[in-house]
Structure 1
């Protein structure tokens, strides 16, 4: 979480809920904990799916092998401001 300011001057919070095991529910939960009963406004929300790949190899006089792996990451962030 990072503090910032909304265009109307309210204190706002940038929340990060990235990762394969996390979802938007983590951002909504964090926003609820920050703002409690006042509620909150979502000022910005962004999501991006990305894949990270790696290739590795091994070779000697009699054989060679190449392996690869891919990990999918989900980048999510939300900026919220508590209602007055």
Structure 2
């Protein structure tokens, strides 16, 4: 059944549907525990991509630290380009890698 549907849809439609699904799955910031240079516990927050923004990193920091608050120790913002192609089409977009290191107060 899936092959039938895929054969009936144009390539741009399939690509758009795949990208839409990816954007929906990447809606919030991710985090992982780490240690700061001083040995204190911290969190690396990743809010990269076109569907994310710095506000999502700040929201995730608030979830981790709550009322104690937090300090932003480092912040990185790198812009790049992404190109993907098939034999029938080419898709190009810009992307942003946003990483923030925080420590709870």
How far does residue 56 in structure 1 lie from its aligned partner after superposition?
Answer: 4.7
TM superposition score normalised by structure 1? 0.79
Offset at residue 74 of structure 1 (A)? 1.1
Structure possessing the higher relative contact order (Cα contacts under 8 Å, 6 or more residues apart):
1
Q: Aligned residue for 2:57?
A: 27
Structure 1, residues 50-72: CA drift from partner, whole Å, max 9, x if none? Answer: 111235546xxxxxxxx532121
From the two aligned structures, give the one with the greater strand fraction. 1
Count of residues in correspondence between the two structures: 75
Larger helix percent: 2
TM-score normalised per structure 2: 0.64
Segments of structure 1 that go 5 or more residues without pairing to the other structure are 59-66
RMSD: 1.4
Secondary structure in 2 aligned to 1:27?
Answer: helix
